[in-house]
Amino acid sequence: MQSFLYCPKIVAKKAKIWYNGIKALQCSIAKRCLMDKKSTKKKNEKTYYITTPIYYPSGQWHIGHCYTSINCDALARYYKLHGYEVLYSTGTDEHGQKIAKVASEKGKTCQAHVDERAQSIVDLWKQCGVEYDRFIRTTDPNHEKRVQQIFEKLYKKGDIYKGKYSGQYCTPCESFWTDSQLVEQKCPDCGREVAPTEEECYYFALGKYSDNILKLLTETDFLEPKSRVNEMVTFIREGLQDLAVTRTSVEWGVSVPFDPKHSIYVWIDALSNYITLLGYEPNQKKQSADFEKFWPANMHMVGKEIVRFHAIIWPALLMALELPLPKKVYGHGWLLMGGDKMSKSKGNIVDPLQLIEKYGIDAFRYYLLSEVQFGSDGTYTTELYLQRTNTDLVNSYGNLVRRTFSMAEQYFGSVVSHSGEADSLDDAFLELVAHTPSLLDREMTALNLSGALKRIFELIGASNKYIDDTKPWALAKEETSKPRLMRVIFNLLESIRVVSGLLLPFLSVGPQKVLQAMDTKFGTSALHAKLIVLNAKSDYKLSPLEMLYPRIDIEKELKSIAK
């Protein structure tokens, strides 16, 4: 557990901080306007910078980690296909005493441990089809150097200052706790005795930015979903104290450049990744081309437990650095397992690699993207996972493709053109095909990824119904109905093309195979624009297509898992 460390005794500084706070507040609206001007410029350039949290390489990766990265991946792919220059960043948060503890338990050096874990998450993302653009490790020397420069810059500015921290110290955990954090006067992590201790440390003047952050949270849509805002506002209104940002007991960290017995608080180190990976130079006016192009980030996607760090500390640090603020922090919910957050410390994790190996990458991505209403918590069960795969991927999408391809082959030797006979029965169906991309755009803009998938599957459902309504097998019996049959199959192929194009951000295998078998090019935004509109193609010559998704015998599978 990461804790905020506060100094209860800093009084002298307070008057100055309060005054600065008022001054900063007065500037905030003007600043925000400036930022908006900058963001309009960026919008025209069509750039999209999206970040995942950087993951702790302390334990085993689980599907909760994949949840964040796959949702970001879907957004990144979606924006790429819509012509944006996207930067999708991820990485590992490699410092801190927890990492050092895990490494020593394994009998490894910290560096060997983090090297191994960083490689394993890179491998995991490959298996999940996560196509990030940049990977940052907080042990990268460039990152470490910039974190030190950021610290020094804020120190010179007066926003970081030296003080004393007093609190309750747990020696085995090497952690400070405030009185209110203790559980029955004991360490909340390990339950052992704590002792009152004082330590010299540096503080970040977080309290000075309190009013500005309150305004940011209550007057803009910086933090979403809205349900997270109240919690943050209550937290700030209780009194935002200055934050202890150094430790002397942590060796595996970035040292304070001018006072190296102190190491920089892991959250300052970790949050800075979002700008250091763009090449941010704290001591220079002119910034890198990447920084100019991509900052401020469009989206920091984070789990709800770390919203506080991203919606309070991070904007305060950026305000102190006089940098524009990110456009959005989105705090998604948790994947639960048996009612609890899935986490390595609780030992209730599900291994993503096993799921992918057994049921395929599309089933995995589809479950994570569709099952949980984005923003809320959702519970993982294997039964639901298998049901979803069978119902949506096998029975709906897979079946639509299989039926249509086999009818096209049987009736027309896999060559189908727009010729043939239309019917008024087609109108509502074709209208839905034409209209679904814009319905999806609306959901994606509202960050409703599960809703976006629902729209696509509504169209798939309507396509399967169109087969039932038009009864191609009956039309095939009469030679005179052949033109009508041709048009029905053509319309279905149109729908399959659009559906598969719309699924590209979400799935990694099936839609790509379908589009290839339809001899339809995809991958760039120019191609995508044509891919998802009706009547962009006037004929199809289909190649044979193997079964997209095999049906799972759920009962048998559950029995074998139970064994």
Binding region for ligand ME8 (CB under 6 A) out of 253-261, 339-347, 466-474, 493-501: 339-347
Q: Is 72 in the site for ligand ME8 (CB under 6 A)?
A: no
Taking the least distance from each CB to ligand ME8, the nearer of 56 and 295 is 56
Q: Which residues of 258-295 are buried (b: 16+ CB within 10 A; e: fewer)?
A: eeeebbbbbbbbbbbbbbbbbebbbeeeebeeebeebb
Taking the least distance from each CB to ligand ME8, the nearer of 283 and 345 is 345
Q: Is 121 in the site for ligand ME8 (CB under 6 A)?
A: no
**153, 186, 215, 341: which one contacts ligand ME8 (CB under 6 A)?**
341
**7, 73, 87, 93: which one contacts ligand ME8 (CB under 6 A)?**
93
Taking the least distance from each CB to ligand ME8, the nearer of 61 and 155 is 61
**271, 275, 369, 453: which one contacts ligand ME8 (CB under 6 A)?**
271
Q: Is 94 in the site for ligand ME8 (CB under 6 A)?
A: no
Binding region for ligand ME8 (CB under 6 A) out of 16-24, 105-113, 266-274, 503-511: 266-274
Taking the least distance from each CB to ligand ME8, the nearer of 92 and 495 is 92
User: Tokens 């979803």 map to which residue?
Assistant: 388
**Residue number, nearest CB to ligand ME8:** 64
Window 345 to 364, contacts with ligand ME8 (CB under 6 A): none
Q: Is 371 in the site for ligand ME8 (CB under 6 A)?
A: no
Q: Is 268 in the site for ligand ME8 (CB under 6 A)?
A: no
Q: Is 397 in the site for ligand ME8 (CB under 6 A)?
A: no
Q: Is 334 in the site for ligand ME8 (CB under 6 A)?
A: yes
Q: Is 328 in the site for ligand ME8 (CB under 6 A)?
A: no
Q: Is 6 in the site for ligand ME8 (CB under 6 A)?
A: no
Count residues near ligand ME8 (CB under 6 A).
Answer: 20
Taking the least distance from each CB to ligand ME8, the nearer of 390 and 450 is 450
**21, 253, 282, 303: which one contacts ligand ME8 (CB under 6 A)?**
303
Give the amino acid at 21.
G
For 60, the token pair is 């085993």
Closest distance to ligand ME8 from the beta carbon of 57 (Å): 8
Q: Is 306 in the site for ligand ME8 (CB under 6 A)?
A: yes
Q: Are 502 and 436 in contact (CB under 8 A)?
A: yes
In whole angstroms, how far apart are CA 98 and each of 94, 102, 193? 10, 6, 19
Query: Strands across the sheet with 243-244, in order?
Result: 175-177, 160-170, 195-204, 243-244
Q: Is 207 in the site for ligand ME8 (CB under 6 A)?
A: no
Beta bridge partners of 51: 89, 300
- In sequence order, the 6+-apart residues with CB closer than 8 A to the CB of 118 are 57, 92, 94, 137
Measured distance CA(79)–CA(48) in Å, rounded: 7
C-alpha closest to that of 377 among 298, 311, 444, 450: 450
Measured distance CA(295)–CA(274) in Å, rounded: 9
Q: Are 243 and 204 in contact (CB under 8 A)?
A: yes
C-alpha closest to that of 222 among 78, 77, 334, 319: 319
Q: Is 316 in the site for ligand ME8 (CB under 6 A)?
A: no
Helix (H) or strand (E) holding 539: strand 539-541
Backbone φ and ψ of 79, nearest 5°: -70, -35
Binding region for ligand ME8 (CB under 6 A) out of 54-62, 220-228, 250-258, 548-556: 54-62
Q: Is 505 in the site for ligand ME8 (CB under 6 A)?
A: no
C-alpha closest to that of 274 among 134, 393, 470: 134
Which ranges of 289-345 does DSSP label H, i.e. alpha helix? 289-294, 307-308, 314-321
Q: Is 472 exposed, middle or buried (0-12, 13-18, 19+ CB in 10 A)?
A: buried
Taking the least distance from each CB to ligand ME8, the nearer of 51 and 404 is 51
Measured distance CA(501)–CA(189) in Å, rounded: 48
Q: Is 125 in the site for ligand ME8 (CB under 6 A)?
A: no
Q: Is 65 in the site for ligand ME8 (CB under 6 A)?
A: yes
Q: Is 101 in the site for ligand ME8 (CB under 6 A)?
A: no
**10, 17, 24, 54: which one contacts ligand ME8 (CB under 6 A)?**
54
Closest distance to ligand ME8 from the beta carbon of 270 (Å): 4
Q: Is 508 in the site for ligand ME8 (CB under 6 A)?
A: no
Q: Is 330 in the site for ligand ME8 (CB under 6 A)?
A: no
Closest distance to ligand ME8 from the beta carbon of 224 (Å): 15
User: Tokens 């305004």 map to which residue?
Assistant: 215
Give the amino acid at 356.
I
Query: 170: helix, coil or strand?
Result: strand
In whole angstroms, how far apart are CA 476 and each of 212, 272, 315, 416? 70, 65, 65, 14
Binding region for ligand ME8 (CB under 6 A) out of 152-160, 213-221, 341-349, 540-548: 341-349
Query: Which residues of the shown chain bind ligand ME8 in the complex (CB under 6 A)?
Result: 53-56, 64-65, 67-68, 93, 270-271, 273, 302-303, 306, 334-335, 341-343
